[in-house]
Structure 1
Amino acid sequence: MGRGKQQQRKWRRKVVLICIGLLGVALIADLLWASSSSSTSLLLFPYKSSFNTNYSATKEVISNHNNNNKDKKDGVHGRILSKTFADLAGPQLQWQKMADSPVPRLDGAAIQINDQLFVFAGYGTIDLVHSHVDVYNFSSNTWGPSFDMPKQMAHSHLGMVTDGRFIYIVTGQYGPQCRGPTARTFVLDTLTKKWQDMPPLPLPRYAPATQLWRGRLHVMGGSKEDRYTPALDHWSIAVKDGTVLDKEWRTEIPIPRGGPHRSCIVVDDRLYVIGGQEGDFMAKPNSPIFKCSRRNEVVYSDVYMLDDEMKWKVLPPMPKPDSHIEFAWVVVNNSIKHPDTKKMILVGEVFQFQLDTLKWAVVGKLPYRVKTTLVGFWDGWLYFTSGQRDRGPDDPTPKKVIGEMWRTKLSLPLS
């Protein structure tokens, strides 16, 4: 009992989890590169406001008519948008435009180590993928020289985490369009810029939740080899200082709900998995270039936690269903910030999760809505770069892939 009370007091000191609306949520199925904005189907995802200690997945409701929540048309395409996905009220943050990334990218990855943001891979266009790393220095606010990735490394939908020097990279999609995933894994020494192989995953996965926890590299969920079917698998392998200590991956407790594009963080020795989706684009049958074909997607707002009991617990959901947020958060003073977006409908809010009260709030707005953005935090400044932005203030559907870098001075309560 004494240990439990001590842990509760320690947990209350971990003040806030902040989600900054910069990512993509596929509420209404849209083409990957927004080549067509027409869409008539509507996915509505009600979220729960109460805290449940036992697992109970948030249910999805698929509808093409009004609900009782006074849905409204988006004013552009005549769609009926659920009030759940309407822009939420929040203060306007003052954003400054910084130097653009050397290349625009979508579905890339980013890891911050001290004052450096390492930005990996991603699509340049649907037919072009990047195979290099760009590095942004927050102290000088400049982009430094880029360097190449291993030729066998995936180009998008990566799982990635750092221990403060070494970056562990697992699985992901190899090539453009909607090609298949690879099970290959790598580790990068950010001081020497040298790469090494790690044991491959038991099975290839798209965009799994990835995190270091208790000396082990954990990989959870994602999509299966067909790029669409949610995976529940949870594997781990022991690592230390860039070295793998096990010969093979160990099977762990499955994640309650599968799927790709979620945030995964560790705070106060607790592992959190946030948001995500089920379903994704698939390769068109018999297409020699694996041309992407639209499929239904279900985006959710679920928040799960794994702790000492090694049982998944359900926490209060996000204010909106949110996906493509795996690299849109940062930990600051044991708080977490991350960007999120809505539609395909995109989201432009900054969300805050108070860990002591388990309540979400909106603490700011982005300069525009954007998905798969990449985020860092340094010296009180919140930065985001890259992704796919909206068509304008009145149209939240995705359009242009960008390489822009923005920042805002963020002042947050610590208690």
Structure 2
Amino acid sequence: MFRTLLAVVALNIPTLARADDPPGGKADARLALQWRKGTPSPFARVESPTAVVDGKMYLFGGFTDDLGASNRVDVYDPATDTWARKKDMPAGLTHLNPAVDGKIIWFAGGFKGKHPGPVTAEVWKYDLAADTWAAGPPLPERRAGGGLTVVGRRLHYFGGYKTDRDTNAGDHWSLSLDGGKEWAREADLPDPRGHVSAAVLDGKIYALGGDHGHDKTQIDVPSCHRFDPATKTWSAIARLPDGRSHFESSTIIRAGRILIVGGRCNSSEPPRNVVGDLLEYDPKADTWRVVGELPEKVLAPSAAIIGGRLVVIGGGLNNPRPLTAATWVTDIADGK
């Protein structure tokens, strides 16, 4: 059981109705969530790359309240509700996403330093067991805000922003994890976009949401695509109910489905700078459904399901400030 030191908060969260719900909704599709507070993050953070290894959440850098780029690494253990610090990242980086290969966590590209920092092509790998960092083969071009995944023995990077921090890229490259020295060209991502969320399910790569533009104007988009490494082709899947971005570190695989936690829908009517719903994709039905709500609306939090608990940490309470250091936890059924 979760440690008794947690402050328990009973919240009766209303279900978010959607226009595509049948009358009365689907009761069996809704998650019964009772949120409670865990030990807060060591500092308020947003857009913090997040990886889960051995039942623990690793949070890498992210923006601080003054929009500086942190380089510190903190790990949260939901079983004990405790935090520990690991070796700092080589630099303060944001707008990059982790990909896990066993005990190695990979990172590629990103914005470097305090906002608005330059775009980098650097690739880094963190050895969890040794608590050390080492450089990997750099990306063919500088990129930030793209998706990064591991499928089989290859690392895939796609989408993001080019060197001007604003132009969207559709480039897609892959790197062999068995001693690869150079990235290979793959099929371009349809609808080039940044802040794209990446997930792997049943051996296929999912590119979910994101936005067009960045520094000048950001427009959240509903685009969703799936890449099949066997055929090396992308295909369109059901679009998000609204344009959505800023959920890269809160995209979770759950019981053969993809769960999105929070984010931003600035192209909806009316616009939503922060989102409080849990949105789930069923690949068999090719449909999206709201299945629950957060205790507070939040942009770009860190989220994971570990040991039957959904953990949500940090994020922005507006677009993005003020930031929060809150840790929220709820028991969650495995689903069907």
TM-score band by shorter chain is 0.7 to 0.9
Identity %: 28
Instruction: Tell me if 1:413 matches 2:311.
Output: no
In the alignment, which residue of structure 1 is the partner of 2:124?
A: 186
What is residue 296 of structure 1 aligned with on the other side? 217
1:327 aligns with 2:261: no
Q: Of the candidates 33, 51, 54, which is equivalent to residue 111 of structure 1? A: 51
Aligned-partner residue type, residue 259 of structure 2: K
Contact kept in structure 1, 2:65 and 2:322, CA below 8 Å: no
Kept in 2, the 8 Å contact 1:323–1:340? The answer is: no
Match of 2:24 in 1: none
Match of 2:72 in 1: 132
Query: Cα deviation per residue 1:150-173 (whole Å; 9 max; x = unaligned)?
Result: 1xx352111321023110011111
Aligned to 2:180: 246
Contact 1:232 1:254 in 2 (8 A): yes
Q: Where do residues 38-187 of structure 1 align in structure 2 (5 Å cutoff)?
A: 93-150=33-90, 153-187=91-125
Structure 2: distance between partners of 1:193 and 1:351:
34
Separation in 2 of the partners of 1:249 and 1:369?
38
Question: Which residue of structure 2 lines up, in the alignment, with residue 338 of structure 1?
Answer: 260
Tell me, yes or no, if the aligned pair for 2:298 and 2:316 is still in contact at 8 Å: yes
TM-score (norm 2): 0.85
Tell me, in whole angstroms, the C-alpha distance in 2 between the residues paired with 1:399 and 1:130: 16
Question: Aligned partners of 2:320, 2:97: CA distance in 1, in Å?
Answer: 23
How much does 1:142 deviate?
Answer: 0.7
Matched position secondary structure for 2:93: coil
Which of the residues 291, 295, 316 maps onto 2:238? Answer: 316
Secondary structure class of the residue paired with 1:400: coil
- The CA distance in 2 between the partners of 1:146 and 1:212, in whole Å, is 23
Which residue, out of 212, 216, 229, partners 2:167? Answer: 229
Matching residue of 2:8: none
Paired residues for 1:335-374 under 5 Å = 335-341=257-263, 342-343=265-266, 345-374=273-302
Superposition deviation, residue 91 in structure 1? 6.6
Aligned partners of 1:398, 1:224: CA distance in 2, in Å? 22
Deviations 1:348-373 (A, max 9, x none): 11112122111111110111111111
Alignment of 1:208-223 (within 5 A): 208-223=146-161
CA distance in 2, matches of 1:309, 1:183: 27
User: Which of 203, 207, 210 is matched with 2:141 structurally?
Assistant: 203
Deviation at 1:248, TM superposition (A): 1.0
Deviation at 1:138, TM superposition (A): 1.7
**1:376 aligned partner:** 304
Aligned to 1:84: none
Task: Say whether the 8 Å CA contact 2:70–2:92 is kept in structure 1.
Answer: no
Scaled by the length of structure 1, the TM-score of the pair is: 0.69
Deviations 1:235-262 (A, max 9, x none): 111004xxxx222111111111212112
Would you identify which runs of 4 or more consecutive aligned residues in structure 1 move more than 6 Å?
none
Name the count of aligned residue pairs: 302
Q: Which runs of 5 or more residues in structure 1 are unaligned?
A: 1-48, 50-89, 282-294, 391-396
Distance 1:311 1:206 in 2: 23
* Paired residue type of 1:304: H
Kept in 2, the 8 Å contact 1:154–1:172? The answer is no
Q: What runs of 5+ residues in structure 2 fail to find an aligned partner? A: 1-19, 21-29, 267-271
Query: d(CA) in 1 for partners of 2:31 and 2:203?
Result: 32
Matched residue of 1:121: which SS?
Answer: strand
The separation in 1 between residues aligned to 2:307 and 2:31, in whole angstroms, is 21
Displacement of 1:412 in angstroms is 5.1
**Structure with bigger gyration radius:** 1
Q: Distance in 2 between matches of 1:331 and 1:212?
A: 14
